[in-house]
Structure 1
Amino acid sequence: MTRIDAKFAELKAANRKAFVAYVMAGDPDYETSLEVVKGLPGAGVDIIELGIPFTDPMADGLTIQLAGQRALEAGQTLEKTLAMARAFRETDDTTPIVMMGYYNPIYNRGVDRFLADAQEAGIDGLIVVDLPPEEDDELCIPAQKAGLNFIRLATPTTDDARLPKVLQNTSGFVYYVSITGITGAAEASAADVAPEVARIKAQTDLPVIVGFGIKTPEAAEAIAGVADGAVVGSAIVKLIEEGRPVPDILAHVRGLAEGAHRAQAVTP
């Protein structure tokens, strides 16, 4: 059982929805980013998504594109992202960390080396947005053999014919992308999301977490009310872009987390 599996078991026992926060590793610099990441669990975050900065983030909107650029310009690398996870694990051995990004940096490092390093650093799962199920032998299967969850994205265009393929080797949770488009591009609608989540849950026992387009505590509550939890990324990254003090960023995260957690008694 991974930390992700344990976290969802804990949340289920408490009839509580998950709040997942995304931040770009190394944005705006290593020290500030680590301070934010270390503060996330205390702000109510159940699972941390740690972005791997990459030069060509095709699934991301301008906010996260710019975050990746800032991180790269500040010297962030995959090695430093792994080091950040190790530093986090020095004081927190329970909060799950999911590395989210693109395959190129992992491929360049070498899959076997990357998986060994990720496991040693305390990484629990991977979201690699540009590896479809047809490429599962490339990273997904080796990752799961190494004890890491491989989390797949489902989208509004994932039809009933495609969905079983998407779910085939997914573990940890399913990440449902609430909008058609890139991160931060539009606002998620619980009315639109609810039937899609139900359709996915009819084919898997995994938790379904919804991300993209969630910007406020109210939206986090509404989306978590029709799913197993909500992910917020761009709205948090935007505060980092604005140069807000870390305590202010964490206070905003706390409000988002409280929104998602208010939905704990709602049955999807």
Structure 2
Amino acid sequence: MLTDEEIARYRRHLVLKEIGGEGQQRLKAASVLVIGAGGLGSPLILYLAAAGVGRIGIIETDRVSLDNLQRQVLHETEAVGKRKTRSAAETVMRLNPHVEVQLFTTRLVAENALSIVGAFDIVADGSDNFATRYLVNDACYFAKRPLVTAAVGPLDGQLTTFRAFETDADGQPNPNYRCLFPAPPPEGTVPACSEAGILGAVAGVLGCLQAVEVVKELLGIGEGLVGRLLLYDALQARVSTVRYAWDPENPLNGENPRLRDLSHHSAPVA
């Protein structure tokens, strides 16, 4: 049940027919694991907390640095030098004390990914490297957890949702990250944020859109992004979506799957 204070806090949700009291209680009972507390994770965590998601897990190993603050709005100047997990928890508690925050100041690896992912209802990936994205994708498939994943470039970004453990209306498996990106790009072809730069608000746009899709998935409302890739172009002020399909050759949930567990992820990733 919602307390009187929660009713006042979430009033704008309660009058929204797509959410209402029942939906708000579902958010309160829900849990979300957020991978990364950086440019994408910052607005994502803030809006999930403000929305009243009951438990938010945050996995991140970095500390706050001064050059993070241009886009990582979850952290303040006073947090420079702190663990991002601790800074994030403090910000969430100031924003909404009804939210439980579970911190994982550790690397996500094959040995712990299933136990961490499996402890939450849904996963939101805001990581900045391909090794983590593939690991999270595979872990969500084996743990049967929905995955909302986003990536951001200097002036653009993309967002999609995976429910690869389910089938579509025609009985065909839903696609996973390996259907969309069968292999990572050659090393060195995608420059890091520190090299290419980034307009901070672009990360904010994608993180906010990611929060919307997570809430939609938790409540079962609207049309999700399974099989659709949302593309955001900041310079052209353009948002578009393109469809993609299950690849029967993909090694995870293809016709002849070769990946049966996470043992192929040998190197630690963050």
Shorter-chain TM-score: which interval? 0.3 to 0.5
Q: What TM-score do you get using the length of structure 1 for normalisation?
A: 0.33
User: Which is bigger in relative contact order (C-alpha 8 A, separation at least 6)?
Assistant: 1
- Structure richer in helix, relative to its length: 1
